[in-house]
Amino acid sequence: MKRWIAGLVVVAALAAAAVFGMRMMAQPPEELDLARDKPSANQLYRVSIQPELDPPAIGTLHNWIVTVLLSDGEPVVDAKISVAGGMPQHGHGLPTAPQVTKQLGEGRYLVEGVRFNMGGWWELKFTIDASAGSDNVTFNLTF
- Indicate whether 58 belongs to the interface with other proteins (CB under 8 A): yes
CA 42, 44, 47 angle in degrees (round to 5)? 100
CA distance 89 to 24: 6
CA distance 143 to 133: 33
- Indicate whether 61 belongs to the interface with other proteins (CB under 8 A): yes
Q: How far is the CB of 63 from other proteins (least distance, A)?
A: 10
- Indicate whether 55 belongs to the interface with other proteins (CB under 8 A): no
- Indicate whether 35 belongs to the interface with other proteins (CB under 8 A): no
- Indicate whether 21 belongs to the interface with other proteins (CB under 8 A): yes
Candidates 99, 103, 127, 138: give the one binding other proteins (CB under 8 A).
Answer: 99
For residues 62 to 91, the per-residue mask of contacts with other proteins, x marking binding by CB under 8 A and - elsewhere, is ------------------------x---xx
CA distance 5 to 137: 47
CA distance 103 to 140: 24
